[in-house]
Chains A and B, each alone.
Chain A
Amino acid sequence: MNPIISVRGLVKHFPVRSRGVLRRQIGDVHAVCGVDFDIYPHETLGLVGESGCGKTTTGRLLLNLLPATAGAVHYRGRDIVPLSRAQMRPLRREMQIVFQDPYASLDPQMTVHELVAEPLRVHGVYRRETVRDLLHTVGLEAGHGNRYAHEFSGGQRQRIGVARALALRPKVLVLDEPVSALDVSVQAGIVNLLEDLQDEFGLSYLFISHDLAVVRHVADRVAVMYLGRIVEIAPVEDLFVRAAHPYTQALISAIPLPDPRKERSRQRIILAGDVPSPVDPPSGCRFRTRCPKFAGQLSDGERRRCAEEAPALTDNGEGHLTACHYAEAMALVQGGADQRGPVTLGTGISAATAADQRR
């Protein structure tokens, strides 16, 4: 099967300007730095990473909402990066986005009916019944159409946002943290809705989230970003059960499980320090400044390689790609202690943890 979206060498730099009148450009924020991935029809690709890793920018680039600095985004084989706004317009019907904040993304002066009708009107395909059907599809009642967004709870507002995105019968939806602003009891309803809609309309999703539990639940494959680069990309089960990049491993081990017994017996990889500035990212592997493996396991020669040579995403032969010179699969969730690989702790605080566990 051919991918519906194919991203190659995608780069986005934002200029950093000096203060004052001249506002000279004094540097670049390297938000996205050479990202490659594919999304197949009817597939959900999860894109995870922490604040500032470039996942939201990647989502915007995918829809050509931001001009890319370099690289290509092929939609059904055609590169959309060089297209003008007018050329993009027919494609917009097929590629839509749902935003995180259901409070900020809906115009408070429009009724729900008008909100959902807006994209239909823009493309000249408005019909009253279409709006009613859409409201029904996302689990709202026809009577809700006369009300305003502020009269609804967060979960219902997000349903309105989904109805707007679905209005033009898109093929691809970028979901940018679609459930992050919602309470858990409500979040589950939106997750179920998105899964149902995907089955019903054969949609392809780029599901951007910082919440790995939600991503494990919805995604078919997962890409992990760190400082503008994809560090690991794999089928969802493979990623969680055989994470091979030290960053992915730390990320998975850091997520608290709602299960007291498992929590008590879990090993946690605690990273030292903070994410470096994207204005001046580290040379070579960008994760090396916080990497527990770099700090504790590698020889000087091996470390030199991390500092000098940026690791490329390499396939292990089963569609599991990792960008680490010294990648090593590790099981962090599911399975007992015997299945766990060696876990090296970082410096400082984690040493204290290790000592405490021995006690």
Chain B
Amino acid sequence: MTVLLEVDDLTVGFPTEDGLVRAARGVSYQVSRGESVGIVGESGSGKSVTSLAVMGLLPRNARVSGSVRFLGEELLGRSDDQMSKVRGSRIAMVFQDTSTSLNPVYTIGAQIAEAVRAHNAVSQRQAMRRAVELLDVVGIPDPARRAGGYPHEMSGGMRQRVVIAIAMANDPELIIADEPTTALDVTVQAQVLEALAAARRETGAALILITHDLGVIAGHTDRVNVMYAGKLVETGAVDEIFYEPRMPYTLGLLGSLPRIDESGRRRLTPITGSPPSLIDLPPGCPFRPRCPKARDLCREAEPELTPAIGRRHLAACHFHAELASATAEEVFS
């Protein structure tokens, strides 16, 4: 499979009065054509910052280093003009907040048609017809009438699906969706995720899906990157991450989740404490203060991502081998 996106040693810091916030620390991963990669982590893990860096959307004061190559071309350090040629057309973005993605003064039909015409030599009328088709694909009821409406007349879930329709019109090679369903109710979330799946079927685009919701990750990705304190701490195929996690943090996250497919009152296993400050990281492994498996080595050296099972499932834990067939209850209680 051809590599579409290659992120290498990406490091992002934000200078503040209290010191440098180390939001991303040497993040490396790849996305192949047509593949769906999930990035999961809790608040402040650096999952959004890395994708904002990929799109060149970080604030000016951010200190960025490393490399982001899209089909072999370096994106880091490009001017805003050069980046906007890539954004939208080749890399489409879907954010949690739709108000920044849609123009309030144009009808949604016109906004989709504009994207259609940017890539195809078609008349305004044909572009409008295509816009209505796309609204139908993303599941907007009564698409012909809705095309004449404005963003403020729609609910959040519908607006998110319009954003996805625009992304489809651009026929991108990569869609980056950053918490696309976080503020939405579950039935609306299902509509939006279905629209995203439809967009991938139509365009064959690869997807980077950033979310804190492990359920969303399980159903919509091929591979998963788990982030903690600005680093990738585990990466592998989706089944490996969910059924054979090799990093205590991943195991802990899964153990702390209540599930609708589980009866009886299984005691949840919370992870004690909270994530470290990104200004003042502890020496060694950033998860050590919360990790029941921690010992001296964990205080001394920060573990690098190393192969855990096979060459594609990597974990950043000195003792990942000890997690083989361990349950969250055994490790955390």
Contact = CB atoms under 8 A, between A and B. Distances in A.
Contacts of A353: 194
B42 A183 contact: yes
Interface stretch (B99-107, B182-190, B311-319): B182-190
A contacts with B: majority SS: helix
B272 A189 contact: yes
B219 A264 contact: yes
B136 interface: yes
Given A50-B187, A274-B158, A257 B252 contact: no
Nearest to B143: A348
Contacts of B238: 260
B261 A334 contact: yes
Contacts of A270: 139, 187, 190-191, 194
Contact of B268 (A155, A192, A256): A192
A86 interface: no
A271 B187 contact: yes
A213 B242 contact: no
A100 B323 CA distance: 35
Contact of A334 (B214, B263, B271): B263
Interface in A320-351: 333-334, 347-350
A217 B214 CA distance: 17
Nearest to B266: A217
B186 A260 contact: no
B292 interface: no
B258 A255 contact: no
B218 A256 contact: yes
A84 interface: no
A253 B238 CA distance: 21
Contacts, number: 160
A352 B215 contact: no
Contact of A210 (B185, B191, B214, B261): B185
Interface string B284-326: 0000000000000000000000000000000000000000000
Contacts of A260: 218-219, 238-239, 242-243
Interface residues of A, number: 55
A321 to B, nearest CB: 20
Interface string B246-258: 0000001111111
B219 A216 contact: no
A268 B192 CA distance: 13
Report the interface size class on chain B: 35 or more
A240 B195 CA distance: 26
A254 B189 contact: yes
Nearest to B238: A260
A241 B186 CA distance: 19
Contact of A216 (B252, B256, B260, B274): B260
A261 interface: yes
A262 interface: yes
B198 interface: yes
B259 A257 contact: yes
B139 A272 contact: yes
B69 to A, nearest CB: 29
B155 A258 contact: no
B274 A186 contact: yes
A252 interface: yes
A218 B212 CA distance: 22
Contact of A256 (B42, B215, B252, B267): B215
A263 interface: yes
A251 B187 contact: yes
B239 A250 contact: no
A142 B109 CA distance: 60
Nearest to A216: B260
Contacts of A218: 258
Contacts of B191: 270-271, 349
B186 A192 contact: no
B218 A263 contact: yes
Contacts of A273: 141
A186 B42 CA distance: 10
A146 interface: no
Nearest to B43: A183
A349 B198 contact: yes
A352 B141 contact: no
B311 to A, nearest CB: 20
Contacts of A350: 139, 194
A237 interface: yes
A221 to B, nearest CB: 14
Given A216-B260, A271-B191, A258 B214 contact: yes
Given A260-B239, A264-B219, A192 B270 contact: yes
A356 B200 CA distance: 12
Nearest to B252: A185
Given A185-B253, A195-B265, A257-B219, A250 B271 contact: no
A125 interface: no
A288 to B, nearest CB: 15
A237 B260 contact: no
A258 B218 contact: yes
Contacts of B255: 188
24 contacts: A51-B185, A153-B274, A184-B42, A188-B256, A210-B185, A213-B259, A216-B260, A216-B262, A253-B190, A254-B187, A255-B186, A255-B260, A256-B215, A257-B261, A258-B214, A262-B218, A263-B218, A263-B219, A271-B191, A274-B155, A349-B195, A350-B194, A352-B137, A352-B198
Interface of B: 42-43, 136-141, 155, 157-158, 185-191, 193-195, 198, 201, 212-219, 238-239, 242-243, 252-263, 265-272, 274
Across the A-B interface, the 3 shortest Cβ-Cβ residue pairs? A349-B139, A256-B215, A263-B219
Given A217-B258, A237-B263, 10 more contacts: A183-B42, A186-B271, A189-B270, A213-B258, A216-B260, A256-B213, A257-B261, A258-B242, A348-B139, A352-B198
